[in-house]
Structure 1
Amino acid sequence: MESLFEQQGYQIIQDRLDKLSPDQPAKWGKMDVAQMLHHCQKAFEIPLGISTIKPPGGLMKLAFKVFKKTLYNDKPWGKGMRTAPEFLVKDAKVYETEKSRLLELAAQFHEKGKDHNWPIHPAFGKLTSEQWGKMQYKHLDHHLRQFGV
């Protein structure tokens, strides 16, 4: 699995984002491309300390623990995965604004790098820098595949 901390993985994601267009149709899911770009920002806001999500409780805590290994392994995520309520995007978004903000957040994450002291994830717990980098790459890969790039 590529990592957003490695220049190659970071460049691959930037190149794929450049191939998106505002009217790009989704292969699955309910979000349009601008909503997807906004959704992807949320995953960067957590490690960058901009926002957080409510930690899971009870059975969801166990489910997150089981799911954790799939965050950074080499197997792509499937369609229709559930997301945290804080990551749901239902209102209309402006494509260029959302794309610009996502690129900005990805750059901040990449620049902090693998030697940064990353926070504990509110749902998945302690992640190594390697896991953070691969997870962010994999999340973006999942949604870029959703829109055919």
Structure 2
Amino acid sequence: MPSIFDKIDNEILCQRIESISHESQPLWGKMNAAQMLSHCQAPIDVAYGELQLKSNFIFLILGKLYKKKILNAPRFQKNALTEPSFVRTGDYDFEKTKAELLSKVRRFATEGTASIKIEKHPFFGKMTYNEWDNLQWKHLNHHLEQFGV
């Protein structure tokens, strides 16, 4: 599996993001391109410790039960449940949002594992750097595939 921390893999991912245009249409789901670019920043912000999610006991138990299944799956399922605070329905400046996502993704390659500022995921519990890598890569790949890139 490619690594978000690897400079070459990361740049390929960024090239895919760069190929998204304001006119790009999803193959599934409800988000437009700008909403998707904004949505993709939320889990990165969690990893960087810039977005704190409230977690409760039930979500943590469910997250621990599904963690292995999600991390071992080859890809995310289409139309899977989304953390409510990650849902994007508003209007976003496409170019600004795209630039912000690219900057955040490239940070993984420049800072490496030091970019991950939290050890405990709000839903999956304790996570290794490899698990953070896996989760971030799969999430971004999922949404890039959603937009055909």
Is this a same-fold pair by TM over 0.5? yes
Give the C-alpha shift of residue 109 in structure 1: 2.7
Distance, in Å, in 1 between the alignment partners of 2:134 and 2:45 is 16
2:80 matches 1:90: no
Moved over 6 A (4+): none
Partner SS, residue 3 of structure 1: coil
Deviations 1:95-148 (A, max 9, x none): 101100001111223322135664111111111111111211110000000000
Distance, in Å, in 1 between the alignment partners of 2:35 and 2:83 is 15
Query: Partner letter of residue 5 of structure 2?
Result: F
Seen in structure 2, the aligned counterparts of structure 1 residues 8 and 73 have a Cα distance that, compared at 3 Å, is: farther
Distance, in Å, in 1 between the alignment partners of 2:72 and 2:114 is 21
Percent identity of equivalent pairs: 34
* Greater percentage in helix: 2
92-101 or 116-125: bigger deviation: 116-125
Query: Any gaps of 5 or more consecutive residues in structure 1?
Result: none
Deviations 1:29-80 (A, max 9, x none): 111010000000001111111112111432x333211221244335111110
2:104 matches 1:101: no
TM-score normalised per structure 2:
0.90
Match of 2:30 in 1: 30
TM-score normalised per structure 1:
0.90
Query: Partner letter of residue 100 of structure 1?
Result: A
Please list, as runs of the form range in 1=range in 2, the aligned pairs for 1:10-49 lying within 5 A after superposition.
10-49=10-49
Asked whether the equivalents of residues 60 and 125 of structure 2 are also in contact (C-alpha less than 8 Å), the reply is no
Query: Any gaps of 5 or more consecutive residues in structure 2?
Result: none
Asked whether the equivalents of residues 24 and 33 of structure 2 are also in contact (C-alpha less than 8 Å), the reply is yes
